[in-house]
Structure 1
Amino acid sequence: MDRGSERDTPPGRGAGDTAAGRIALAVVVVDRTGLVSHWSSGVRRLFGVDREDAVGRPAADLLPVSGALPEDPHVDAMPDAYEEYDGPGPDLEASLGGASAYATAGRARLSPDRHAPDGERLDVLWWAYPLVGPGTSGLLVLAADATRLRDERGYDDETAERISPGFARHTELPASEELERRLPEILPSMGPGLSGRIVSQVLELGYPVLEFSQFDRVPVTPYWGVPRRPGRTRAEAAAPRERVVAVPVPAGAEQDLEYAAVRERLEFLNEVSSAIGTSLDLGETIREVTSAAVPRFTDFAGTHLRAAVLAGEGFPDGPPDASTVMFRVWVEHNDEPGRWDDTVPVGEAFAFPEHTPFYQCMVTGEPVLIPRVTKELAGRIAGEFEKRDLRPLISGRSLLIVPLKARNVVLGFMVLMRRPDRPAFDDMDRTTGAELAARAGLVLDNARMYTYQENVADTLQDSMLPQVSPRMAGCDVATRYLPGTRLGRIGGDWFDTIKLPGSRTALVVGDVMGHGLNSAAMMGQLRTAVQTMAAMETPPAQLLRNLDDLARRLGDNYLATCLYAVYDPIRGELTLANAGHIPPVLVRAEDGSSELLELPTGAPIGVGGVAFETSRVKVAPGDRLVLCTDGLVEVRGSDIGEGLAALCESAAHPAASMDDACDTIIRALNTRGGRKDDVALLMARLNGIPDEHVAEWRLESDPAEVPRARRLVRERLLAWGLPQAVETAELLVSEVVTNAVRHGRSDRIGLRVVRTDALLFEVTDDEPALPAMLGAGPHDDAGRGLRVVSRLAREWGASAAGHHKTVWFEQTVTARH
């Protein structure tokens, strides 16, 4: 073939047929090893092969480009696969890496069994450019559908057969400057480095043209969009102040161009929609939204969101204003790395000045389009921002700012910019950008609402689960809570530890049947009821009966299991009652053995009419009690007995600490597949209180016993080596014993002192009425005792059981210096 640019023919002759040159192009890039590295959507439409199936495959298996590919297959190797013949173009045999060193072109007809399942042959025109220079890309291939040219333009078979692909110097064609400027649009979704290198070599090797005869050459002009006014040439729309020879748009082609431009933008929006919203994670969604526009639609994209949206809080209240803080949450661009980092850092929070286009978009909720940012405008914008110079970054660029809205409320906005060498944003781009932002806003709002709901669920669950102290009187406690894998992350599982009079501790685990907000709300009510009744020293079986009555009064759907245990560290005894819950595990310190405690099962809370029984178990110092909900041991499709056996085995495993012991159990049982329910785990090491740390006395109901009580306490504290606690202890014991002598009805008053990490004082009498803190005037002789106790004690309280009451207070033990 002869090189088209060397023909001695009048340039542009046959321009009346330029409609044939305005065609949809397929773009392929082949690397130096002959594998496809870029496969445009146009190639997919032409050959019916998806990008995922093409990239990385040998190009020779996919493209009928004879003589251009390394290791190009021979026609004989694929019988009846395609028939190919070269049109006019270069026919030089110098080669580079097995392929032609010059641009080549040709025409191929593919048989129906290869690419056209409908039975019609595919007629393909192609151009191939070898690529030199840095990088892995070795060949650019452009292809077009000759059948479509014939059908859409109404050519007869003879005219269609004469169309051949060729090359010409772009300066020989009409509107050469416009052709050169628009050439990068042939290469969508490519970075500036690769596209710039390809464009320079295309211009050097020859502009692709369609040749109708030896003298008629029409430049290949891909769909560029819609002229601004009917009848206006492309060169006039692009450069109205310059005298340029235009590429004429033939009559009747405007509607085709508009259709193609709209279709191209719809395809872009469709691809963006499928690429964003793959995750409900807010951060991942922000990155997807920002990256979707670069580089196909813009060269720079920056996303800014209101603080309430980014924090996953409720819906932003009211429209934004000058005081609204925006966070720059992500930036994507195809400039050189690091160019934007210092001036527009990700994570920066600030309010946008009023006299800026960003503020205008934010408060109006409408796109703002600036076709070119002049130096004067760039200076004015930069002047509104302190300590940064935006002028080098935005001058000469095309700027489009689109709001991110949901339910007609502005969540933020996106800043889009194109480089000066790229076509400026126009009205159609404004519409496309607004639609992109609308879809992005919806996806972001979905992620925001999901984040907000997760935060609400976590806050609700955390507020309902107690902050358990790791050290109670005579025992150490460790807990774990794992939310279920079901949607919502909240449920009705709970645990609790409650301080009781007499250095005792109540250990509770419960599980409301069901999942979600209703179960969590019910759990909160039941937990509060348990705490109230436990503080009143309600025996375990009676407590569960009262809880059952409460659940049935609240509604028919209130069903829950509960295990309630009271540990007395002085007696070394557990008192337990069970309401349909799985049994606890007791690990003996003496030999390390573990066992499921055999307790009367009872019926779940809310069933009604079932008696609850109390069991007593003797324990030794160092024994461990393990209570959990069924989510830890019960897995769909497995016997719960297997889970209970695994719980016993893992609970008996030695551990350095209580937390390590809990982790061992979780690791052993949580790896079992199929767990969806919540898990509540409570472990208590029952240390006990030695007899030498407990002192008890009986006092007579006589005012003369008050000095004796002070003396007994002083002697005991000195024997324990706590002289710093004597003065306060004497004062408080004197006040409480005086009240018991004054208001008691029997001759016996009990006084007990227990030493743990604090000092616990208990005074018991036979008057069941609880004491009340009174307001004493300046001339009153009484009413100040409990105020003194409240002021000086770390904690204090009173409880009534049977026909007696106990007033207790705790005193902090300070270390001796």
Structure 2
Amino acid sequence: MAAEPEIPQQRDPALPGTRTVSGRVPLAVAVADLTGRISHWSRGAGRLFGFRREEALGRAAAEIVPVTGVLDTPGYPTAGRFRTHGEDGRPRGSSDILWWAYPLTGPDPGGVLVLATDAAPLRALEGTAGAPGDTIGAGFARHTDFAHAEELARGLPEIMPGMSPGESGIVAARVLALGYPVLELSRHARVPVTPDWGTPRRAGRRTGRPAHPGAAAAPEAGPEAGPQAGTPSGPETDLEYAAVRERLEFLNEVSSRIGSSLDLGRTIEEVSKAVVPRFTDVAGTYLREQVVAGEGFPDGPPDTATLWHRVAVEHTDEPGRWDDVVPVGESMTFPAHTPFFQCMTSGEPVLVPRVTEEMGNAIAAQFDKRDIRPLINHRSMLVVPLKARQVVLGFMILLRHRERAEFHDMDRVTGAELAARAGLVLDNARMYTHQENVADTLQDSMLPRSAPRTAGCDTATRYLPGTSLGRVGGDWFDTIRLPGCRTALVVGDVMGHGLNSAAMMGQLRTAVQTMAALDTEPAQLLRSLDDLAQRLGDHYLATCLYAVYDPVRGELRIANAGHIPPVLVRAADGRSELLDLPSGAPIGVGRVAFTSVTVPVSPGDRLVMCTDGLIEVRGQDIGTGLAALCESAAHPAASMDDACDSIIRTLAAAGTPGDRRDDVALLMARLSGIAPEDAAQWRLAAAPEEAGRARRLVREQLRRWGLAAVADTAVLLVSELVTNAVRHARTGSVELRLVRSDALLCEVADDGHDLPVLLDARETDEAGRGLTVVSRLASGWGSSRTDRGKAVWCELPLPRPGRSGAARR
């Protein structure tokens, strides 16, 4: 790059015979710190030099500001013009820049303020303003030559966004003391300029003003040739427009930064960081209790009893200064005399130019044993409500440091607009949180909270909601305890997503539990479930896998309704296989047949049942997913829970997170079985005297098992059940079975089809007290139909190991 810098100009701004008018040019503002690195970078600098603020801050000024000698200036201001030609790898290869440099810390080496503008729009004026050879140059004009210097000084922090009040004050003092930037258009005219941030003008606002500053300084344009009479103009109007534009841009930036997430906590953090330090030095956010809890919309206006939660405190003070005094997470109420109560009840911002000692004492009284006065006294405070649909959700307390300009009416308007936008974003996050809570509650209510204790069968389950289509779906699993130490294992999937699918799932799950309690054969249960789905409507289909495990016989009875087959992992050799079952049609198709299949199993075998959301990957054949399920299920694990987690991790790694959008229900059962020595079975004749024989058999068996402590109770229960069976049996024999597991099961079966009913027997009744005795002494009892009639069972808890007392009742 060929560089042709001009010699910096040091000219007397008050040459005799010169005329001075004010003008506007777009200015780039940059500040280099003591080390020569950029510490402030305005949007104008980004437009002029082509570097964004995040790219410029912290970099060496010499690398990104193509102005030779700026950082080498002595303790006085310099100005000049700098031309570059050709490409040098910068965002802008060639440029014509007018620049002014001010030392910020006196004669000693220190920070430098650089103002620069593009001279390209003014090149057409060169050589036309006066004698041949006249050019446009950069110079200085003393502040005494500028009628509105004080107004500009007060407004300087507004047009240098992002700078602290202290730094802005230094800049203002140096610029006023050393002179405004000036464009020298000829030997007879010079234009002190004010920053132009590109603020659009309203029609007719500046009808008498030329398109650019140079035109206003032509020799023939005298002081009387200004804007039309009655049209506002001048530096104060420029600052007004700059301030308004700056606030609009600030609000636009805040709006773009907040609301990137529907998470309530992250939204609050975004709102707090958006205003500190740009608009305020401290921002504390308080929300109503219902908003934090993700509950419904708050009822009624807030009052002195309303509980407010402090959810965020963002500040520019030294770390930890606010943490102990006003910790995040604290809940409190506010009395009626505070500005916070006034804000929350009126729904309007409350401006306190300076917090007086008296007000500070009143506010500090709300903080028990903590002195908050040093943090708030003599600071400017603005309290803005966070509301949506005219309901106050919370409020923000904004504080400015003492040395910073006080909040004023324009800040009040800005704060109100900021709070309105933040309130809508917070309300969206609140509603999303509320809907998530509703969905989670609904889903949890439709899934079993814990697996029931069943003899010879250990289970572990997992449920994962869909990642993209909502947290509520139609997948479910269940473990149902059946008579005879058997266990029903169920996995189902209602096609579709959302609340309707979840509601349908709840109805089908309830129906399955009801029919399972009646000991319905698997194929017949699916047949009845299909009939129910037809009566509920033809809008939904569901797949279902229903299995009944008998730990005494060591077998599974399974029926399938269009579901993916289960995986059986053999304990003997660790081999896994997909069970070959008739697939059947989905529930809801109507008028289709289902088939039950008997699968022999051994103690220690594991059965894995899941919904298709676990194995289906977009763009992949389902057979690949089934193969992966078989392989992952065969891997050994320390526990059932570890085995479930391993399966989910393995299959999740087979695709990207976006590939799996369906719910996942996983049920794993270890089929431990019941050893032959833990079961005893007898066939009794349907005769009254057989009740005595049953009592002797039970007592002797319990003695061999070492359960003499529960023998008396067990004998009484068996006697009642056998007596009932003999009385109601039609023909044939009565079967008695005892099973020892985590409890003692007593089961009596006969060929009668009428299920027993618990009666409220009176003192004069001769019968009807048998089941009353059973229900009082047993921990549980029930009855179900069988192939030949019915079975009635009851359970007794066993004494804890090492105890010899009576059985717990």
TM-score (norm 2): 0.84
Which residue of the partner structure matches residue 719 of structure 2? 734
Q: How does 1:100-139 map to 2 (within 5 A)?
A: 103-108=77-82, 124-129=98-103, 139=112
Instruction: Determine the C-alpha separation between the residues in 1 that align with 2:65 and 2:321.
Output: 39
Structure 1 position 516, deviation (Å): 2.0
Q: Say yes or no: does 1:475 pair with 2:457.
A: yes
Q: How does 1:1-150 map to 2 (within 5 A)?
A: 17=21, 19-20=22-23, 25-30=27-32, 36=38, 38-47=40-49, 49-55=51-57, 59-60=61-62, 62-69=64-71, 95=72, 103-108=77-82, 124-129=98-103, 139-144=112-117
Aligned AA (2:673):
G
Structure 1 position 567, deviation (Å): 0.8
Count of matched residue positions in the alignment of Structure 1 and Structure 2:
756
Match of residue 365, structure 2, among 383, 405, 423: 383
Q: Say yes or no: does 1:462 pair with 2:441.
A: no
Structure 1 position 720, deviation (Å): 1.0
Structure 1 position 744, deviation (Å): 3.6
Instruction: Determine the C-alpha separation between the residues in 2 that align with 1:219 and 1:329.
Output: 46
Instruction: Determine the C-alpha separation between the residues in 1 that align with 2:471 and 2:683.
Output: 54
**Could you say if the C-alpha distance between residues 713 and 2 of structure 1 is closer, same or farther in structure 2, counting changes exceeding 3 Å?**
same
**Could you say if the C-alpha distance between residues 732 and 201 of structure 1 is closer, same or farther in structure 2, counting changes exceeding 3 Å?**
farther
Name which of structure 1's ranges 782-791 and 555-564 shifts more when overlaid on structure 2. 782-791
**Could you say if the C-alpha distance between residues 165 and 299 of structure 1 is closer, same or farther in structure 2, counting changes exceeding 3 Å?**
farther
Q: Say yes or no: does 1:797 pair with 2:808.
A: no
Instruction: Determine the C-alpha separation between the residues in 2 that align with 1:2 and 1:365.
Output: 57
Aligned AA (1:41):
R
Instruction: Determine the C-alpha separation between the residues in 1 that align with 2:787 and 2:632.
Output: 41
Name which of structure 1's ranges 572-581 and 546-555 shifts more when overlaid on structure 2. 546-555
Which residue of the partner structure matches residue 271 of structure 2? 289
Q: Say yes or no: does 1:719 pair with 2:700.
A: no
Determine helix, strand or coil for the equivalent of 1:586: strand
Determine helix, strand or coil for the equivalent of 1:631: helix
Instruction: Determine the C-alpha separation between the residues in 2 that align with 1:504 and 1:561.
Output: 23
Q: CA RMSD in A?
A: 4.0
Determine helix, strand or coil for the equivalent of 1:638: coil
Do the aligned residues in 1 keep the contact of 2:561 with 2:585 (CA within 8 Å)? yes
Q: Say yes or no: does 1:658 pair with 2:640.
A: yes
Aligned AA (1:142):
L
Structure 1 position 301, deviation (Å): 0.8
Instruction: Determine the C-alpha separation between the residues in 2 that align with 1:613 and 1:630.
Output: 21
**Could you say if the C-alpha distance between residues 680 and 117 of structure 1 is closer, same or farther in structure 2, counting changes exceeding 3 Å?**
closer
Do the aligned residues in 1 keep the contact of 2:49 with 2:91 (CA within 8 Å)? no
Percent identity of equivalent pairs: 63
Structure 1 position 440, deviation (Å): 0.6
Q: Say yes or no: does 1:667 pair with 2:644.
A: no
Instruction: Determine the C-alpha separation between the residues in 2 that align with 1:288 and 1:718.
Output: 72
Instruction: Determine the C-alpha separation between the residues in 2 that align with 1:2 and 1:692.
Output: 107
Instruction: Determine the C-alpha separation between the residues in 2 that align with 1:727 and 1:46.
Output: 98
Which residue of the partner structure matches residue 530 of structure 1? 512
Instruction: Determine the C-alpha separation between the residues in 1 that align with 2:773 and 2:685.
Output: 24
Match of residue 811, structure 1, among 793, 796, 799: 796
Structure 1 position 149, deviation (Å): 10
Instruction: Determine the C-alpha separation between the residues in 2 that align with 1:66 and 1:585.
Output: 77
Structure 1 position 25, deviation (Å): 4.5
Q: How does 1:506-545 map to 2 (within 5 A)?
A: 506-545=488-527
Match of residue 291, structure 2, among 291, 297, 309: 309
Determine helix, strand or coil for the equivalent of 2:613: coil
Instruction: Determine the C-alpha separation between the residues in 1 that align with 2:254 and 2:307.
Output: 28
Q: How does 1:724-763 map to 2 (within 5 A)?
A: 724-746=709-731, 748-763=733-748
Instruction: Determine the C-alpha separation between the residues in 2 that align with 1:446 and 1:196.
Output: 38
Aligned AA (1:451):
T
Which residue of the partner structure matches residue 219 of structure 2? none
Match of residue 258, structure 1, among 240, 258, 261: 240
Instruction: Determine the C-alpha separation between the residues in 1 that align with 2:629 and 2:445.
Output: 28
Instruction: Determine the C-alpha separation between the residues in 2 that align with 1:157 and 1:683.
Output: 91
Aligned AA (2:161):
P
**Could you say if the C-alpha distance between residues 141 and 703 of structure 1 is closer, same or farther in structure 2, counting changes exceeding 3 Å?**
farther
Instruction: Determine the C-alpha separation between the residues in 2 that align with 1:257 and 1:192.
Output: 17
Name which of structure 1's ranges 333-342 and 729-738 shifts more when overlaid on structure 2. 729-738
Determine helix, strand or coil for the equivalent of 1:565: strand
Aligned AA (2:714):
A
Instruction: Determine the C-alpha separation between the residues in 1 that align with 2:106 and 2:734.
Output: 103
Aligned AA (1:377):
M
Do the aligned residues in 2 keep the contact of 1:540 with 1:577 (CA within 8 Å)? yes
Instruction: Determine the C-alpha separation between the residues in 2 that align with 1:683 and 1:766.
Output: 35
Instruction: Determine the C-alpha separation between the residues in 2 that align with 1:431 and 1:179.
Output: 22
Structure 1 position 710, deviation (Å): 2.9
Structure 1 position 177, deviation (Å): 7.7
TM-score (norm 1): 0.83
Determine helix, strand or coil for the equivalent of 1:625: strand
Deviations 1:449-469 (A, max 9, x none): 222222222222222121342
Structure 1 position 14, deviation (Å): 9.8
Which residue of the partner structure matches residue 504 of structure 1? 486
**Could you say if the C-alpha distance between residues 727 and 320 of structure 1 is closer, same or farther in structure 2, counting changes exceeding 3 Å?**
farther
Which residue of the partner structure matches residue 231 of structure 1? none
Q: Say yes or no: does 1:622 pair with 2:604.
A: yes
Determine helix, strand or coil for the equivalent of 2:70: coil
Determine helix, strand or coil for the equivalent of 2:614: coil
Aligned AA (2:652):
N
Name which of structure 1's ranges 199-208 and 111-120 shifts more when overlaid on structure 2. 111-120
Gaps of 5+ in 1: 70-94, 226-248
Deviations 1:354-380 (A, max 9, x none): 211101111111111112222222223
Structure 1 position 713, deviation (Å): 2.1
Deviations 1:734-770 (A, max 9, x none): 3333333444434633221111111111122333222
Deviations 1:369-394 (A, max 9, x none): 11222222222332344333332222
Do the aligned residues in 1 keep the contact of 2:25 with 2:193 (CA within 8 Å)? no
Do the aligned residues in 2 keep the contact of 1:125 with 1:144 (CA within 8 Å)? yes
Match of residue 631, structure 1, among 613, 620, 623: 613
